[in-house]
Amino acid sequence: MSQTRHKARRLATQALYTWQMAGQSLTDIETEYCVDHDMKKVDGDYFRELLHKVPAHLDELDGYLLPLLDRTIDDVDGVERAILRLGCYELAYRLDVPYRVVINESVKLAKTFGADQSHKYINGILDGVAKKLRTAETNAAKKYKSRDKPASS
């Protein structure tokens, strides 16, 4: 994916974290981020979509995440929660983005913003979500991967 989209995810993660923690209005957060950050190198439409659509689909997204979590959604670290919800949204609604890209981008965000080993947690949870929401895509990838393994003697 492009750098502009990566930067949109990065800003959206921070903005969603702000929304979760401060309860500030999404419009105010969007305005603040657009004023405080150089948006020339950011996919602004994607940033706005993530910022507004993740909260709009919160119950559904949390419903996909909950069965895979080892704690309640509220007990998940705020940064990890924002990354999980953003990744889950992309898996559910942005079928134009391959599931591996969604997971890879989420892992990068966790390595940047999350706790020391949070990227492993993010990877495991979103892999489980992908298997549920992107069954055909994950099965095709698994089939392709097993086809390329050398035969054992």
pLDDT of residue 151: 52
Domain of residue 70 covers: 3-137
pLDDT < 50 regions, the chain: 1, 152-153
C-beta of residue 42 within 8 angstroms of C-beta of residue 4: yes
Token pair of 108 as six digits: 């990068």
C-alpha span between 112 and 92 (Å, rounded): 24
Domain count, the chain: 1
pTM of the model: 0.90
C-alpha span between 71 and 24 (Å, rounded): 26
Phi, psi angle pair for 149, to nearest 5°: -75, 140
Tell whether 150 is covered by a domain.
Answer: no
What CATH code is carried by the domain that includes residue 32? Answer: 1.10.940.10
pLDDT digits (tens, 9 = 90+) for 87-116: 999 999 999 999 999 999 999 999 999 989
Tell whether 143 is covered by a domain.
Answer: no
